[in-house]
Chains A and B, each alone.
Chain A
């Protein structure tokens, strides 16, 4: 059972960067904007948080700086895609490529630096409890933060007026505009929120999960987060479930290998992708529900004048 508790802890740790990035992107897409730049923003968040953490000695200040930097980068996307009406897919792809290059460039002097990362919680008494301690009280603070973010995003979109407005903007920007909502400004805010969340996911990797900076260290997690949002049909709880499923199956295949499984490791490496797609496709196979959940104006530029 102790082993099971370890597995749970490892799964949560592995899924967390995906939870952050995917929840952020979910809000962006709910507002009708498709930002494919998640990978670039994650890397920017990772490198900036690492640099600031290394210079100030305070990893949490680094995390805030990483979020701010990724949000700033997302503003560049918003200016091009929302104000100048550039194609969102092309702009998002460019943002990803740019973020990868930018982070590699500004991170160059920092590849050799070692920082004291943010450690998992160690609450006297609680973290050492058998089973429960490891499962509930000994995670990285980021794991709790990601769960809070999930609760917050879910509540915001489903239960608040502001969330309703964001969804309205994503469904029918012209109607929202007609009743007086500033569509472009709302989309800007959503894009910045998505940027900050992607930055948070990157920061988690650079200052907590593997406290180091190297070029391209997120290794495609931004793209996985993007896919999760679609496969989860824009439902926050499914996004989170998908992220943990992905993390869990990745670990399970490593466990299987270490136990001497005889499947080719290439097949085992595919498993997290296949499992996540299959499960999410199954739980969201209702076509009507998908149509209802998908933001109707996703990726379409909006001209307030027209």
Chain B
């Protein structure tokens, strides 16, 4: 029997004889963070690293991403991996807009974060010019461990997010700066 097994802590709450009371935000945050279904938007080499991440050795599925979906309607997080050209930017924006709330974006790799080495006329210098991004994973390409670290940081973000954030005026203002007006 191993001695130092890391146990997951329960969220802060009031426990009694046979029950445990906590706030709905915490429970929903916990559930959401441990079951983030990715939408792999893989265009370049970072997509290959993502394939390695999904493969059994690094296994993204044990973080809850059991079902990658290529339809935005059923995905929670958009993983943009690879160089996004300026021609691809409206496609990316459309896919992001068609995702259902709550949705998060991870930009994997230098090209998605800032254009990478390709500072040319055809490459979009960072996807945060067209969509709001939550986590940036640098690297060219990042190792699967780095991608997993980015997803774990996103899990922290998701766990601590209030359920009412998507209705708040700040979020609407953020989307409005990208020209996405959803009511």
Mutual binders A and B: no
Binding site for B on A (CB under 8 A): none
